[in-house]
Amino acid sequence: MAEVGLPITVSVARTKFIAKVASGVAKPDGLLVVPPDRELEFLHPLPVERLWGVGKVTAATLHAHGLRAVSDIANESESDLVALLGRATGRHLHALATGHDPRPVHRQRRRSMGAQHALGRGAHSIESVDATLQLLADKVAGRMRRAHRIGRTVVLRLRFADYTRVTRSHTLGVPTARTDILSDTARALLESAGPLVADRGLTLIGVAVTNLNGEGIEQLELPFDEPVSSPDPASSEIPTTHRPIDRHALDTVLDDVHNRFGAGALTSATLLGRDHRQGVPMLPD
């Protein structure tokens, strides 16, 4: 890509097999589209090694019998190929050489969502690391909610100054995408790894959520622990009821503000001045 200076190859075809072959032909940096009515025109001039399943041994066998191009295999009968290569391989190569690939294309959703941040070498204050952890948890939770995903397992990834890495994880009782639950869990995992961090020095921290649920339906909690102040007969002050914050509603409001005005438009006090940019562009879920 011109913006980042990295080669990328894109191929488009009617079947998975032809798209894969087209990708190999277009490398290292190209776009190749194979229309359905020109599949055989594209496929047949290629060497037999382009067929999926043709390795050195099979290629040598085909070459010994004068079969060097895909068109040569397509012109052979299936029975002759079965006699030469065996039932499974013969039928398989004949199907591919004639443009048949019955495998369906299945959409696969992400199995995890995460974010990480390099801290660099040197000492880092507890407050700085905690703020970075909160920022990562905010990003991951926001991505999950935008994709209508919830997850059960929170994973903390750490890299130390000696280039060693460790992971810590905790599986929640119920899946969630709440920012406070994910950040509190990640913070507890970081505290458990405190001795390692103090001994080796932290250079990178990452937060991920796995065991994702694709339904996005979260079991809400009833406010059983809602404290209510009792009136004081000797006081003239009006009694108040201290209601806990509705975290689901808070996340919804924050998501709406961030979508409209950017991630840094409204944030917690601990994250003021932090970089709220997405970083590497993310593919759709």
- One domain, residues 40 and 170: no
- One domain, residues 53 and 165: no
Residue that wins the pLDDT comparison between 251 and 136: 136
pLDDT at residue 173 greater than cutoff 60 = yes
- One domain, residues 72 and 126: no
| CATH code where residue 85 lies | 1.10.150.20
Q: With bands split at pLDDT 50, 70 and 90, how would you rate the model's confidence at 233?
A: low
Q: How many CB atoms lie within 10 A of CB 70?
A: 26
- One domain, residues 74 and 199: no
φ/ψ bin of 119: left (φ > 0), alpha (ψ from -120 to 50), beta (otherwise): alpha
Question: In whole angstroms, how far apart are CA 52 and each of 59, 94, 96?
Answer: 11, 11, 8
Residue 228 is predicted with a pLDDT of 47
Q: Please name the amino acid found at residue 25.
A: V
How many structural domains are present in the chain? 2
Residue 128 domain-assigned?
Answer: yes
- One domain, residues 35 and 123: no
Residue 143 domain-assigned?
Answer: yes
Residue 199 domain-assigned?
Answer: yes
Residue that wins the pLDDT comparison between 214 and 201: 201
Residue that wins the pLDDT comparison between 122 and 62: 62
pTM confidence score: 0.59
The whole-angstrom separation of Cα 49 and Cα 63 is 10
Residue 233 domain-assigned?
Answer: no
Q: With bands split at pLDDT 50, 70 and 90, how would you rate the model's confidence at 198?
A: confident
Residue 71 domain-assigned?
Answer: yes
Residue 191 domain-assigned?
Answer: yes
Q: How many CB atoms lie within 10 A of CB 280?
A: 7
Q: Which structural domain, as residue segments, surrounds residue 129? A: 113-219+240-271
pLDDT at residue 128 greater than cutoff 80 = yes
What mean pLDDT value characterizes the chain? 83
The whole-angstrom separation of Cα 237 and Cα 229 is 12
Residue 172 is predicted with a pLDDT of 93
Residue that wins the pLDDT comparison between 270 and 247: 247
pLDDT at residue 19 greater than cutoff 70 = yes
Is residue 11 within 8 Å of 19, Cβ to Cβ?
yes
- One domain, residues 129 and 61: no
Domain boundary residue among 67, 97, 127?
A: 97
